[in-house]
Amino acid sequence: EVQLVESGGGLVQPGGSLRLSCAASGFTFSSYSMNWVRQAPGKGLEWVSYISSSSSTIYYADSVKGRFTISRDNAKNSLYLQMNSLRDEDTAVYYCARGHGDYVLLDYWGQGTLVTVSS
């Protein structure tokens, strides 16, 4: 059974940093691309970042470019999102999602971890 479990969320002050993790199991992690997608409270989905299976291709949304860094460790079956210079508008539930071929085909999602940016 495919499982994605996010962790690392919490309360952080504006300008602070946080590192999210996503532990994957039930599939060959190194064969799949991965994504982070977020959802602000009461709002819609916003794609954040994409990383290919080998980490050779990475994309970011303009809203996080230069502040967030996606990475993965295939030996540890883990996906990460390093978030720096956090802003109030980064407050959201962050989901990790498995990609399957197409950039937009996200076939499995985690349950999400809440990041709250507030003073």
Give me the residues that bind another protein (CB under 8 A), please. Answer: 35, 37, 44-47, 50, 59-62, 95, 97, 102-107, 109-112
**4, 43, 46, 67 from 34: Cα distances, Å:** 11, 22, 15, 19
- Least separation in angstroms between residue 90's CB and another protein is 17
Toward another protein, which CB reaches closer, 99 or 117?
99
Closest CA to 82 of 97, 94, 68, 93: 68
Pair of tokens at residue 19: 């590192």
Toward another protein, which CB reaches closer, 11 or 45?
45
Q: Which residues, other chains included, contact 28 with Cβ-Cβ below 8 Å and sequence gap of 6+?
A: none
- Least separation in angstroms between residue 106's CB and another protein is 6
Toward another protein, which CB reaches closer, 46 or 78?
46
Toward another protein, which CB reaches closer, 43 or 76?
43
3 state DSSP class of 8: coil
- Least separation in angstroms between residue 36's CB and another protein is 11
